[in-house]
C-alpha cells in the first residue's frame, strides 16, 4: 500500500525519516565492512612469511603446525593484529563517510519534497503582501499534514481578503453613489440662494433639511456598521425581555405605521435574553421602517416574539408586501442592498437597514433569517441565543 507523505503529521514523518536514514547508514557500514573483511584475509596472508602463513592455514584447517612455522606465526601476530585493526578502522571510516554522504543526499531530496509546498506558500505570501489577493497555492500532494493544513488556511484567508477587498471597493463606490444625490441637491440649492437665483423660502429650507437628515441617518448607519466591524457595537449587556422592548418600539412607531397605512398585529410572548436593549430596539425599529417603505401596500404589519426551543429566542416582523427576492436567504446583505433591483431611493432610507440589523444580530451571537410569509409577503426574523444568564432569569424580567 502506498503511503502518502502529505497525510502524515510532521512529527511522525520526521521520526520515520530519521529511522530510515539511520537504518540505511548502518546497512552501508555493515555490508561495507563485511565486504572489506572478505578481502582482508587474502591480503593478510600475502603480508606474512611463508612459515607464518602455513601455520595460520594449518590452524584454520584444524592441523598442528610445525614448531618453526608456529614460532614464525606467533612472532608476526602483533604486527598483523595492528595492521588488521588499522584496516578495519579505515574501512569503518570510509564506509561511514559513504553512508553519511548517501544519507545526506537522500535527506536533501526528501527535505526538498517536503519543503517544496512551503516555498510555494512563501512565494504566495509575498504576492499577497504585494496586493495580489487572487493568489492561491492550491492543492499539493507533497509535504506534511501540518503543511497541507497551513496551505489550506492560507488559501481560505486569501479568498476572504479578496472578498473583503472587493466588498470594500464596492462599498466605497456605493457610499459615493449615495452621497452624490443629496450633496448635489444641497449644493445646487444653496448656490442658487447665495446667487439670488432661488428665494430663501421656508419650504425650500425644509426640503434641504430633509436631505441633511438623510445624510445624518446615512452617517449614523455607517458608524453603526463600523462599530460592528470593530466588535464594539454591543458594550452594555443585561437581561432584556424581547416582548417588552417590542412593545416600546411598536408603541413609538404607531405614527409612522399610520402614515404608511399599516395596521399592527402583535403576538408578543415574553422571551428573555442577555443583550443591549438599545441596540435591539434599534434593530426592530429598522425592520419596522423597512416594512413601512417597501411593504406599505400590504396594509398590515405583524410583530412576534418568543422562543425556539430552550436555546434561542426571536423577534419576527411579517408583512403582506411584495416579499423578498427568491435568493435573499443566501444573499449576502451588502451595504446599500435593497430588495428591488433598481436600487431606487424613491422610498427613502439609506439602504443600510438590513445591514445594520444583521450586524446587531451577529454582535449578540445571533443571526438574521429571511423567509416568505405564507399567503404572500416577507418574514424577517432576528434569532438570538439564550445564554445561561438569560435562561436563569424569570420570563417576566
The residue-averaged pLDDT of 38-60 equals 79
Q: In what order do the strands lie in the sheet with 263-268?
A: 263-268, 300-308, 312-319, 378-385, 367-372
CA distance 146 to 342: 48
Whole-number pLDDT of residue 243: 94
User: Angle of helix 277-294 relative to helix 353-363, nearest 10 degrees?
Assistant: 150
Whole-number pLDDT of residue 148: 77
Whole-number pLDDT of residue 187: 84
358 exposure class (CB count in 10 Å sphere: 0-12, 13-18, 19+): buried
Band of residue 100 on the pLDDT scale cut at 50, 70, 90: confident
Greater confidence, 58 or 262?
A: 262
Whole-number pLDDT of residue 58: 81
From residue 176, give the alpha-carbon distance in Å to each of 172, 201, 214, 303: 6, 29, 14, 35
CA distance 85 to 186: 103
Whole-number pLDDT of residue 86: 84
The residue-averaged pLDDT of 232-241 equals 82
- Tell me the pLDDT tens digit for each residue of 112-157: 777 777 788 888 888 888 888 888 887 766 666 777 788 888 888 8
Pair 150, 121: CB distance under 8 Å: yes
For the cut 50, the answer to whether the pLDDT of residue 393 exceeds it is: no
Kindly provide the b/e burial profile for residues 92-128, where b requires at least 16 CB atoms within 10 angstroms of the residue's own CB. Answer: eeebeeebeeebeeeeeebeeebbebbebbeebeeeb
Listed ranges 60-74, 122-136, 293-307; the one with the highest mean pLDDT? 293-307
Residues 6+ apart with CB under 8 A from 82: none
From residue 292, give the alpha-carbon distance in Å to each of 205, 219, 261, 302: 26, 21, 8, 12
Q: Which of 279-288, 292-301, 323-332 has the lowest mean pLDDT?
A: 323-332
Task: Using alpha carbons, select from 363, 356, 368 the residue that is nearest to residue 222.
Answer: 356
Listed ranges 208-212, 224-228, 234-238, 367-371; the one with the highest mean pLDDT? 367-371
Whole-number pLDDT of residue 390: 40
Q: Which of 87-101, 204-218, 249-263 has the lowest mean pLDDT?
A: 204-218
Task: Using alpha carbons, select from 322, 311, 312 the residue that is nearest to residue 384.
Answer: 312
Amino acid at each position: 500500500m502506498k503511503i502518502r507523505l502529505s497525510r502524515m503529521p510532521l512529527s511522525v514523518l520526521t521520526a520515520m525519516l530519521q529511522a530510515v536514514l539511520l537504518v540505511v547508514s548502518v546497512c552501508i557500514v555493515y555490508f561495507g565492512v563485511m565486504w572489506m573483511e572478505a578481502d582482508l584475509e587474502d591480503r593478510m596472508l600475502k603480508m606474512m612469511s611463508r612459515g607464518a602463513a602455513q601455520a595460520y592455514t594449518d590452524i584454520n584447517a584444524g592441523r598442528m603446525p610445525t614448531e618453526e612455522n608456529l614460532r614464525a606465526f606467533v612472532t608476526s601476530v602483533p604486527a598483523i593484529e595492528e595492521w588488521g585493526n588499522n584496516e578495519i578502522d579505515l574501512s569503518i571510516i570510509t564506509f561511514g563517510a559513504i553512508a553519511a554522504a548517501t544519507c545526506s543526499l537522500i535527506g536533501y531530496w526528501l527535505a526538498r519534497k517536503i519543503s517544496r509546498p512551503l516555498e510555494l506558500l512563501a512565494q504566495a505570501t509575498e504576492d499577497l503582501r504585494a496586493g495580489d489577493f487572487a493568489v492561491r497555492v492550491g492543492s499539493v500532494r507533497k509535504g506534511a499534514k501540518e503543511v497541507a493544513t497551513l496551505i489550506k488556511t492560507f488559501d481560505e484567508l486569501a479568498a476572504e481578503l479578496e472578498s473583503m477587498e472587493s466588498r470594500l471597493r464596492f462599498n466605497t463606490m456605493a457610499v459615493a453613489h449615495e452621497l452624490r444625490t443629496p450633496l448635489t441637491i444641497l449644493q445646487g440649492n444653496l448656490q442658487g440662494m447665495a446667487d439670488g437665483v432661488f428665494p430663501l423660502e421656508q419650504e425650500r429650507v425644509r426640503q434641504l433639511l430633509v436631505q441633511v437628515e438623510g445624510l445624518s441617518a446615512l452617517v449614523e448607519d455607517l458608524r453603526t456598521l463600523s462599530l460592528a466591524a470593530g466588535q464594539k457595537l454591543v458594550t452594555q449587556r443585561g437581561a432584556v425581555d424581547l416582548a417588552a422592548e417590542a412593545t416600546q418600539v411598536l408603541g413609538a412607531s404607531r405614527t409612522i405605521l399610520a402614515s404608511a397605512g399599516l395596521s399592527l398585529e402583535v403576538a408578543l410572548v415574553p422571551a428573555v435574553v442577555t443583550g443591549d436593549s438599545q441596540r435591539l430596539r434599534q434593530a426592530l425599529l429598522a425592520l419596522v421602517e423597512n416594512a413601512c417603505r417597501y411593504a406599505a401596500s400590504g396594509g398590515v404589519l405583524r410583530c412576534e416574539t418568543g422562543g425556539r426551543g430552550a436555546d434561542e429566542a426571536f423577534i419576527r416582523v411579517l408583512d403582506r408586501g411584495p416579499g423578498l427576492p427568491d435568493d435573499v436567504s443566501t444573499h449576502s446583505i451588502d451595504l446599500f442592498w435593497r430588495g428591488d433591483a433598481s436600487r431606487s431611493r424613491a422610498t427613502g432610507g439609506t439602504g443600510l437597514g438590513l445591514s445594520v440589523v444583521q450586524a446587531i444580530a451577529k454582535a449578540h451571537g445571533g443571526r438574521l433569517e429571511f423567509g416568505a410569509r405564507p399567503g404572500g409577503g416577507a418574514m424577517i426574523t432576528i434569532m438570538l441565543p439564550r445564554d445561561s444568564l438569560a435562561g436563569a432569569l424569570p420570563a417576566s424580567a
